[in-house]
Each structure stands twice: as C-alpha cells, then as structure tokens.
Structure 1
Amino acid sequence: MVVGGSGVDTVVRVDSLPVPLADSVGVGPIREWPGQTGGNVALGCHALGLNVKFLDFIGDDWTGGQVREHLAKGGVDFEGMHSPSGTRRAVNLVDKTGRRMSFHDARDPEDLRMPREFYLPHLERARHVHLSITNFTRFLFDDIIEQGVPVSTDLHDWDGMDAYHREFAYRADLVFLSAAGARERIGPVMREILREGRAQAVVATAGAGGSYLLTREGSRTPRPVPATVPPAPVVDSNGAGDAYVAGFLYGRLAGRSLDDCAHLGAIAGAYACTVEGSSSLITGEALRSAR
C-alpha cells in the first residue's frame, strides 16, 4: 500500500542548471506528467507485478483528473479523498544531462487528516506500507506500527537538519533518501537514522554515483552499491529515485537480501532515466533478466 504523494509535474527542459538570470529564456516543449513520488512508486510497483493500493487526497480539478487517468491506465488501484486545496503540483527544470531542479507546491492544509475508517481496512490487508512525506501521512504511523506492518518512506533530499522529516526518518522500518541533501554528511545522517530510529536499513541514492546501504548488522560505514549503466541514453532523471524504491521493495517483498534489493533498485532507477516521466516502467521479467 502506498499513501500520499500524488500530483502533476510540469517539466521544462533547459540547457543547463542553474538557469541564467534573464527576463525570458527560450525552452523546448513544456510537458505535463501526472504521478509525483507516491504515484510513481505505486505505478512502478504495479509494473513489477505487485498488487498495489494507493490512497491519497486529490483535487476535483484538471490536474486531479490527469492523475486519476494516468493511474488507471497504469493499472493502479487508487482511492482518493477530496482535497479542499486542489491537486499538488511541481515545476521541474531538467537540463541536457537529465539532472533536475524541482519547485514543489504541496498545498495541503496543515490540519489535513486522513480518516482512520478510510485507510484502516486497507492497512489490515497490506503486506507493506510506503508513506510519502506529505504531512498527513505521519499520523498513520501509530496504526501501521500497531498492526505490525513494515513501513518505508523516502526523505528525498533531507539534509539531516530539517525537523519536518525527522518523524518519518525515525519511525520507518526502511528509509530512503538522496545523498544530495546531506552531501559529505550523508554517512553521519544515515547512522543517526539507525541510532535514533527503528529502521533496519537506510539507503542513500546518489544518481550516477550509485547508492549506499547501511544496515544494523556489519560495518558502520555505508557500503557502496554501484550504479547500473542505463540501457539507453539518459533522457530524464525525474522519477528515477521512485523507480529505485519500487525495485528495492519488489526485492524485499520477494524475500531477497538487502544487498540484492539495492541492486534491483539500481536497475529500475537506471531504466527510468531512459524515458520521459513515468511513460514506460520496467517489468518484473525485465528486472529479473537484467541482473
């Protein structure tokens, strides 16, 4: 089960990042891609052959319609509650190498809560829950832990300091984050998550630099997992981290070792970079044959 994190990305292709300071900059065709982090993880897991239930708040607006249509085409079982503030959006600048810079409009009101009677029936049937770091999802932790269901989250570019992410970091069983946020401090941040929280493993993704895995057993130094060479030219890194999460969870739910899961995540993430948005996702058969 995936909770939270749907929306629409507006993708603007630029020559380089940061963009030059100018009144007007010519760009190529601007594209809209429904998905965002929760939607992408749900779509990625479904493409790999997992049964996925996706719950979120969504607006009765054009962007919400795009999200619903895209998830339906991808075969994801989505149930949405009405969002009074509309559907989340983001504007992503993507350079020629596929790197991106995202401007995210979360827009959810601070007091937004998902009713227990809405999510509990689905939670009781779930093998695993992945929480996006939308604020309302933090209030599901108590029930998830009480039910004994493993839970993962993606902190994205957390620097190890922002208090907003800390509850997610410390209460999840499996934590993903981007190494770009903490940079040279990523090792200490990963160790802090294990020391202060309940996670059994922390995974830091580093794009073309691969990823790093830290577990409760073994060395206190995160062990590197090499990046997988993409099977085609890199087009867009949007969604690569979400695809990595989907590949990792696929391995975890199949009973693979954490190291194997990290390699599966790397393969899925590399594949995602070769297409725009979530227009094509790696299947379970392709993932297994690529190992």
Structure 2
Amino acid sequence: MTWDSGEGGQAGRPLRWARAEGGSSRGREVLVVGAYFADLVFRDLSRPVRPGTEVFAGALDLLPGGAFTPAMAMHRLGHDVLWATDFGTDLFSAQVLAAARAEGLDESGFRHHPVPLRSVTVALSLPADRAMVSYQDPVVAPSAAPPSLATLLREHRPALLMLPQLHHGADVRDALRVARQLGTQVFMDCQDVPATLDTPTVREVLAEVDVFAPNADEALRLTGAGTVDEALDLLAGLAGTVLVKRGGDGASAVRGGKRYDIAAVPVDVVDTTGAGDCFNAGFLHAHLAGRQLPDCLAAAVACGAAAATGPGSGQAPDLAGLRRWLDRVPHR
C-alpha cells in the first residue's frame, strides 16, 4: 500500500484546499500554530531518576521540538505548511530557527522579538517513554501581542489547522467556529495539559475539532475513565474522529461509530521524543489525500515508528521513507 497524493475528503466537512467559496483562491494547505521548543534529550540513563540522586546519561542531544516537529514532518511529506510561532534573541530561538531554515520551512509565519524568548524542554528518555520538564518565557512588552487564532485563520484560510496541544477557553471555541465557517478542518493533539472534560469550554472546543489525538495516558486523565477503551468511547461522542496513540500497543481510532485498531511497528527504540507528532503528520498526510481511516492509521504508525529510531524527530520520513515504512506496518 503506497501513495503520494490524492483527492477527496473524509467523512465530515470536505477538504477544499484548491478553491474556496466564491471562486477565490484557498490560502495555505496546512497552518501549524504553536510555540517552538528546544529539546535537551538525555538518553541511555544509567538508572531511574529519583529526588536526591544523580544519574548519568550515555547520550545528550539538543534538538528542535515543540510545534517545529509537526510543521517539519508535514513539510517533509510534501505539504504546503505555514508555521505561526515566535522567536527571540536567545540561543534556543536561534537553534530552532536555524533548523527550520535548514528544513526549508516558510518563514512568513515567524515573529521575531527583540528580547529573549526561551522555550526549553529537558527530556529524560527511556526505551518505552520519557519524562519532561519544560520552561517558556512569556511574550511581554516591548513585543506586541501575538495575533489571535481567529486572526490567523482569517488571514491564511488554511485547509487544515494543526494545534499541537489541547487549547480551551471562549476565544479558542470562537476561533474554531471561524474555522468551520472557512471550511478549515481542525486537528488537535492533547499533550499533558491540566484539563478534564469538566473544565469549562473543553467539551465545546472538542465539538469543533475534526480530529483529536491524545495518547493513552492523556485520554485517561482528560476523561477520568478507568480504561483506554472507555476513554475512547467518551471522546468519540465529542470530536469528529478520535485517535488514541497506545505506544507499543499500536493505535485506535473511532469515526462515525466505527472503531479501527492497528498494531505497532516493531522497532529498536532510540527515543520517543517527537514520535507522537510524527504519528500525527503521517495520519494527516493520508487524511489530506482522502484515504480511508485504516490507511490513515497505517501511515500514522509508520511515521511514528520511523521517528522513534533516532533522537528527537530527526528521523521523520519523507515520502520515499514513508513508502518503505508502510511495508513494515502489520495490518489487522
């Protein structure tokens, strides 16, 4: 099973990248909105990390992360991507900006600030998972406030909006309603955001999301369910399509009351940092090509597995790489 491109939409709102209402030109294919992060990834830890102890790592990498990863991964798969983000004068901003330029990402969505704007994650990488500690400088004066999500949507009129983490609040809900008016499909990851389905506006926001993609732990925390299957059922009643990334157990998805499961690709894991974002990119690559849900899941686990074979997201595949990895996907 291989593909490079295709036409047609999935169940739900149709894809309308080539031409918008009234015959005017559609804007960007993919709009990614989110902060950069510089990932300090410690690998090959000699023992578990506990308070009061010092643990030596066998390897250390400084890698671009945060919203850089989905933007880069989609770009490698041949998509027109605009990444809306902020950079400062600090060395972490410079490191990720240099990586974005090396990948050939469009810089027109970048805002440059005359002050440091540090966004850093320390990842303690273990074979099955990782623990992370993050820090982010706020955008403050003399810098101007970043444009709102609704403003970005109206300006760029994307076919697809990618939000790398769960956002909620009345402004987000209203912005996603603008997306619906524009015919923009909305993809939202979860990340370890301190929110539940009882947090105000979370249910309303998810009702405006076309594809919601938490991992298993995030789905359990968000829903309060006792099992991943229960969490999947709860979330399927809110978002159009729900994906749950289950690590070594593969992935599950529900759309229109139908559930699909796929096994993981066996690999020698080097680092799982960024693998979830690459999973998302694989799914959306197939989704934008009009593929059915099982094929979208296959592309997702292929890209996630590829990313796990190296530190950070550096092993995110291009189209040729995706074709090779698809041959390794166990179907069921």
TM-score (norm 1): 0.84
**In the alignment, what sits opposite 2:14?**
none
207-216 vs 158-167, greater mean Cα deviation = 158-167
Q: Distance in 2 between matches of 1:258 and 1:182?
A: 20
Contact 2:40-2:63 at 8 Å conserved across structures? yes
**In the alignment, what sits opposite 2:11?**
none
Q: Percent identity?
A: 25
User: Aligned ranges for residues 50-129 of structure 1 at < 5 Å?
Assistant: 50-78=79-107, 79-82=109-112, 86-95=117-126, 97=127, 99-108=129-138, 113-115=146-148, 119-120=152-153, 122-124=155-157, 126-129=158-161
Q: Distance in 2 between matches of 1:165 and 1:59?
A: 32
Does structure 1 residue 150 correspond to structure 2 residue 185? Answer: yes
The structure with the larger Rg is 2
Contact 1:158-1:182 at 8 Å conserved across structures? no
What are structure 1's unaligned runs of at least 5 residues? Answer: none
- Partner letter of residue 70 of structure 1? A
163-172 vs 45-54, greater mean Cα deviation = 163-172
251-260 vs 281-290, greater mean Cα deviation = 281-290
What displacement does 1:75 show? Answer: 1.6
What displacement does 1:217 show? Answer: 3.3
Name the Cα RMSD after superposition.
2.9
User: Aligned ranges for residues 207-218 of structure 1 at < 5 Å?
Assistant: 207-218=247-258
Deviations 1:25-84 (A, max 9, x none): 222343211122x21111111111111111112323211111111111112113222467
Does structure 1 residue 242 correspond to structure 2 residue 277? Answer: yes
Query: Of Structure 1 and Structure 2, which has the larger fraction of its residues in helix?
Result: 1
**In the alignment, what sits opposite 2:38?**
8
Deviations 1:113-139 (A, max 9, x none): 524796246532x22110123759936
Structure 2 residue matching 1:260: 3-state secondary structure: helix
Does structure 1 residue 191 correspond to structure 2 residue 233? Answer: yes
Q: Distance in 2 between matches of 1:93 and 1:164?
A: 33
24-33 vs 46-55, greater mean Cα deviation = 24-33
**In the alignment, what sits opposite 1:282?**
317
- Between the two proteins, the alignment pairs up a number of residues equal to 281
Question: Following superposition, which runs of at least 4 residues in structure 1 exceed 6 angstroms of deviation?
Answer: none
- Partner letter of residue 77 of structure 2? L
- The partner residue of 1:179 within 184, 195, 216 is 216
- Partner letter of residue 93 of structure 1? L
Structure 2 residue matching 1:22: 3-state secondary structure: coil
Contact 1:3-1:54 at 8 Å conserved across structures? yes
Decide whether aligned partners of structure 1 residues 177 and 120 sit closer, same or farther in structure 2, where only a CA change above 3 A counts.
closer
Structure 2 residue matching 1:28: 3-state secondary structure: strand
Contact 1:35-1:70 at 8 Å conserved across structures? no
Decide whether aligned partners of structure 1 residues 155 and 85 sit closer, same or farther in structure 2, where only a CA change above 3 A counts.
farther
**In the alignment, what sits opposite 1:47?**
76
What are structure 2's unaligned runs of at least 5 residues? Answer: 1-30, 221-225, 327-332
TM-score (norm 2): 0.75
What displacement does 1:208 show? Answer: 1.0
Q: Distance in 1 between matches of 2:42 and 2:200?
A: 28
Q: Distance in 2 between matches of 1:209 and 1:157?
A: 20
What displacement does 1:101 show? Answer: 0.7
130-139 vs 182-191, greater mean Cα deviation = 130-139
